Homo-oligomer: A and B are copies of this chain.
Amino acid sequence: MPMRNQRDLTIYEIAKAAGVSRSTVSRVLTGHPNVKPATRMMVEKVIEELHYRPSSVAQGLARGQLNMIGLLIGDIRNTFYAEIARGVEDIAHEAGYMVVICDTDYDIKREQFYFHGVQQFALSGLIVMSVLDQQELIPVLQSIRCPIVMLNRYVRSFDTDVVLVDNVEGSYLATRHLIELGHHRIGHLAGSALSTASRDRTLGFQRALEDYGIEREDSDIQEGDLTIERGRRYGQWWLEADSRRRPTAIFAANDLMALGIIDVLASHGVKIPDDVSIVGYDDLPLTGLAPISLTTVRQPHYDMGVTAMTFLKQRIEQKVENVQRKIFRPELVVRKTTGPQRNE
């Protein structure tokens, strides 16, 4: 039987100390306008002096929602998510919300678990970077009774606030960059086909190829899972592929996979970018370091988190009416893992 973590002051003590009723204290606490200024100041003084802090749990029960928000992400160990998380938290912190971290590990079971958790704890809101397929996601989303902001994902038939980056454009930029360097055998290691973000990146890739009249065999696109390990497997595949047919340039759907590829290739003596060019996606903080210098597509992760939380806050506080939408523009960062196609 867990010990009860005792508290000392309740609103009742404050009321007594201030010589008013609990209701009045509650009013100053919640900023209700109908309190005589003198009374308000007096109560505030007592609160201050006694270092009273209301129980968020009791408030949560009475108000029907806890001052917390959930952040549903794949895996916090991926810096991509970590930066977003930090952006979310900074705003949440200012606004007085705590952030509950929900690592789904890209696992649907676990994601379901957290969706339930959000209900049970009556969280005030939820920022979602889900992995569920659209089909499955919709009913779940509808069953959630709190404000939701979708981040880097969207569901066409479900209108929520949403923060996006133009993934089509980002990968178009990356691919065009490779094309302009003279490459025409370009491989794409994609993300999961279930996520709109990944699908859009693949789309941008294909569109660029088309625009520049480059033929594409189906084998040029492989599906991945955004892990470094998957990148390593791709690297292995590349090493073993027919050297006259394998891509001379590779566009990976995220930096982690690009790094995995580089790891394998570099340790087998493949020269980058001389033997093969590589572009990633995300611009993780460490990929810009001199020894790596990955060419990649930058997304404003931190700001995405900030924006998502700002949207959510407004929604929770019902300061807005219409759906909020923000689309960031990605930016190509050319560094040293891409170079001109060498004559064959």
Contact = CB atoms under 8 A, between A and B. Distances in A.
Interface of A: 1-7, 53-58, 60-61, 63-66, 68, 75-77, 79, 82-83, 85-86, 89-90, 93, 98-103, 110, 113, 116-117, 119-122, 124, 145-146, 228, 259, 262-264, 266-267, 285-286, 289-292, 316-318
Nearest to A102: B98
A79 B93 CA distance: 21
Given A289-B263, A290-B266, A103 B86 contact: yes
A101 B89 CA distance: 8
Given A93-B110, A145-B6, A267-B290, A85 B65 contact: no
B86 A82 contact: no
A101 B116 CA distance: 19
Contacts of A82: 76-77, 79, 82
A85 B76 contact: yes
Given A55-B120, A75-B86, A101-B101, 8 more contacts: A53-B120, A55-B122, A56-B120, A56-B121, A57-B66, A57-B122, A89-B101, A259-B289
A5 B122 contact: yes
Given A53-B116, A57-B57, A89-B101, A263 B290 contact: yes
